[in-house]
Structure 1
């Protein structure tokens, strides 16, 4: 803390994000995104030129793959649909599946049930579309449903990179049905256009 000519004390400048190493800033953003993020958007998020971000991403890929001095990581930085996102390595899927399957079963929250219903009836559907229908943020709920194996990532939109979600066979087993065709019609339960559902696209 310093004192100005007027006698007022002045706090020192706080460390800003731009002063931190670029690799750390890029990793921080990649860690929290739920959908692949393009280089331009990533560069804007970390306040750095696109070429520098591209080089950083390439360095991180090599680092995670163990092509540098360190070991290979259990996750990888993968380009999907024109964007980048962290994923568990495919050969470690059995480890993750065993861990998730070994967790004590827990009842889904009301928010999770509502989100699952939207995905079941509207699939394929993106996270932002689900959020628009429910009028709330669904990031954490989607992660929970993914971890429980009730939904899965179907594909990434070729233009936006947004992940489209759908339900899994595990949901059918829990519901005791053979296919989504056996889901009860939802239209009679809704007023016209209620909750953001398009009457022409729901069952």
Structure 2
């Protein structure tokens, strides 16, 4: 094998990256060679470029992340590859992801500053989880009374989210566009004519009873586990009546 040839060196680097199981930096790759045969940084980059081009059209790709280079399965194959493992991917709470996002975009930031922005207290378990996963670390202490710890993200955070540096984080404006539209308060939402007509009929048929409000109708629908849709096409004619049925039962 001619290690001065980028093509031969690319094959060797492919073997090293496949066997490693974790990203390898240029410095770490160079350390794997004897001093007499150690390729220069320029030659290593040329070989990595050859390797990257050889991955075109294949199921895996060469990816540079914060910790270095790694070979990984392309994202479009993940739905099938994920079935190799029986356990489901861990799901994280909205509170944890909001806390992580604030640390990523506002770092270094203290717990108190996160709580001030979110408007709620940060659960200690959230901070513990982020530290244990090595997604965040303490980088210092704010020079204020109490000297609170300041948090910042780590290379492991960048590696996990397939980023090489913080500049690759999407702009905040893009994230705001991805946020779902705020839910309309039921009291302020317009009442569909069909539902209001049924409510009026119910109140007229049973005059002694208190007039049915939109809030009470929603409560009845929720108790029957009927999802309230914007067009109400899926509501049965008998879904709203003088009395709500017990949970899980339906009129047949």
Q: TM-score, normalised by structure 1?
A: 0.40
From the two aligned structures, give the one with the greater strand fraction: 1
Question: Larger C-alpha radius of gyration, 1 or 2?
Answer: 2
**TM-score under structure 2 length normalisation:** 0.32
